Structure 1
Amino acid sequence: MQRVYIRYFDVDLNPKTQNPYPKSPIRFEDSTLNFEIVPVVYIKNKVMLDKKVDLLDLAQKTNHFIQQINTKNNISIEEIQIDCDWTLRSKDNYLRFIQIFKKISSKQLSATIRLHQIKYFKKTKIPAVDRGVLMYYNMGKIAPDSLNSIYDRNIAKRYLASLKNYPLPINIALPIYSWGIHIRDRKIIGLRNKIDVNNLKNNSSFVLTNKNWFLVKKATFQNGIYYKEKDQLKIETISESDLFEMGNDLKKHTNQNPKEIIFYDLDEFNLKNYDAAIFKKVIDCF
Structure 2
Amino acid sequence: MRIIFIIKLSVLSVILSAFTLKSCKKEGGDSQRSVILWKSTEGLNETDEEVLNSLSVSHTYIRYADVEWNPVYERHEPVKGVNAWNFDYMSANSTAVIFITNEVLVNLTYPKMKDLALKIAALYKDRHEEFAKRYGNIFGYYRNTNPDLDHETKRAQADSITTDWMKRNNKLLIDCDWSETTRDKYFALIKELKTELRDTEIQSTLRLWQYRDYKLAGIPPVERCLLMCYSTGDPKNPNTENAIVDFATIKKYITHSRYQTDLDIALPVYSWGTLFRNGEFAGIISPLTLNYLEGNPSLFQQNDSTHFTILRDTVLGNTYYRYGDKLHFQGVNIEELLEIARFIKSKLKPGEEDKISLFSYDPLYFNQIGHENIRKIYRVFSNPVSFLTE
1:31, distance to aligned residue in structure 2 (A) = 4.3
Matched, 1:281 2:338: no
Give 5+ residue unaligned stretches, structure 1.
none
One of 338, 348, 357 as aligned partner of 1:244: 338
Provide the secondary structure at the position in 2 that maps to 1:58: helix
Provide the secondary structure at the position in 1 that maps to 2:345: helix
Question: In the aligned structure 2, how far is the partner of 1:94 from the partner of 1:18?
Answer: 19
Question: In the aligned structure 1, how far is the partner of 2:67 from the partner of 2:213?
Answer: 26
Seen in structure 2, the aligned counterparts of structure 1 residues 71 and 166 have a Cα distance that, compared at 3 Å, is closer
Question: In the aligned structure 2, how far is the partner of 1:37 from the partner of 1:225?
Answer: 32
User: Within 5 A, what are the aligned runs for 1:172-191?
Assistant: 172-191=265-284
1:94, distance to aligned residue in structure 2 (A) = 0.2
Seen in structure 2, the aligned counterparts of structure 1 residues 273 and 228 have a Cα distance that, compared at 3 Å, is same
User: Within 5 A, what are the aligned runs for 1:158-237?
Assistant: 158-162=252-256, 164-201=257-294, 202-237=296-331
Matched, 1:86 2:181: no
Question: Is the CA contact (8 Å cut-off) linking 2:356 and 2:378 kept in structure 1?
Answer: yes
Which residue identity lines up with residue 276 of structure 1 in the other structure? H
TM score, norm. by length of structure 2:
0.69
Which residue identity lines up with residue 20 of structure 1 in the other structure? H
1:24, distance to aligned residue in structure 2 (A) = 3.6
Give 5+ residue unaligned stretches, structure 2.
1-56, 134-161, 382-390
Question: Is the CA contact (8 Å cut-off) linking 2:289 and 2:368 kept in structure 1?
Answer: no
- CA deviation string 1:118-173 (max 9, x = no partner): 111112111111211110000111121251000012211211222x1222210100
With CA pairs under 8 Å and 6+ residues apart, which has the higher RCO, 1 or 2?
A: 2
Seen in structure 2, the aligned counterparts of structure 1 residues 146 and 48 have a Cα distance that, compared at 3 Å, is closer
Question: In the aligned structure 2, how far is the partner of 1:146 from the partner of 1:51?
Answer: 34
1:222, distance to aligned residue in structure 2 (A) = 3.1
Displacement over 6 Å in runs of 4+: none
Provide the secondary structure at the position in 1 that maps to 2:323: coil
Provide the secondary structure at the position in 2 that maps to 1:95: helix
Question: In the aligned structure 1, how far is the partner of 2:292 from the partner of 2:349?
Answer: 44
Question: In the aligned structure 2, how far is the partner of 1:103 from the partner of 1:279?
Answer: 39
1:245, distance to aligned residue in structure 2 (A) = 1.4
Question: In the aligned structure 2, how far is the partner of 1:191 from the partner of 1:272?
Answer: 21
Question: In the aligned structure 2, how far is the partner of 1:67 from the partner of 1:32?
Answer: 21
Which is greater in Rg? 2
Question: In the aligned structure 2, how far is the partner of 1:224 from the partner of 1:119?
Answer: 36
The answer for the alignment partner of 1:266 in structure 2 is 361
The answer for the alignment partner of 2:96 in structure 1 is 39
Matched, 1:125 2:218: yes
Provide the secondary structure at the position in 2 that maps to 1:210: coil
Calculate percent identity across the aligned residue pairs: 26
Question: In the aligned structure 1, how far is the partner of 2:317 from the partner of 2:81?
Answer: 23
Matched, 1:17 2:80: no
- CA deviation string 1:200-245 (max 9, x = no partner): 2223131110111101233333335332222111011013223211
Which residue identity lines up with residue 70 of structure 2 in the other structure? N
Give the structure with the larger helix fraction. 2
Which residue identity lines up with residue 364 of structure 2 in the other structure? F
The answer for the alignment partner of 1:148 in structure 2 is 242
Which residue identity lines up with residue 283 of structure 2 in the other structure? G
- CA deviation string 1:23-69 (max 9, x = no partner): 14331222455432211000000111124251111111111111112
Seen in structure 2, the aligned counterparts of structure 1 residues 255 and 277 have a Cα distance that, compared at 3 Å, is same
The answer for the alignment partner of 2:151 in structure 1 is none
Provide the secondary structure at the position in 1 that maps to 2:65: strand
Aligned length, in residue pairs: 285
Which residue identity lines up with residue 215 of structure 2 in the other structure? K
- CA deviation string 1:159-206 (max 9, x = no partner): 1222x1222210100011111101112111011102243332223131
One of 52, 57, 72 as aligned partner of 2:130: 72
Provide the secondary structure at the position in 2 that maps to 1:165: coil
Question: In the aligned structure 2, how far is the partner of 1:107 from the partner of 1:200?
Answer: 44
Seen in structure 2, the aligned counterparts of structure 1 residues 126 and 228 have a Cα distance that, compared at 3 Å, is same
> CA-atom RMSD, angstroms?
1.9
One of 61, 69, 81 as aligned partner of 2:119: 61
Which residue identity lines up with residue 219 of structure 2 in the other structure? I
- The answer to which of 208-217 and 51-60 deviates more is 51-60
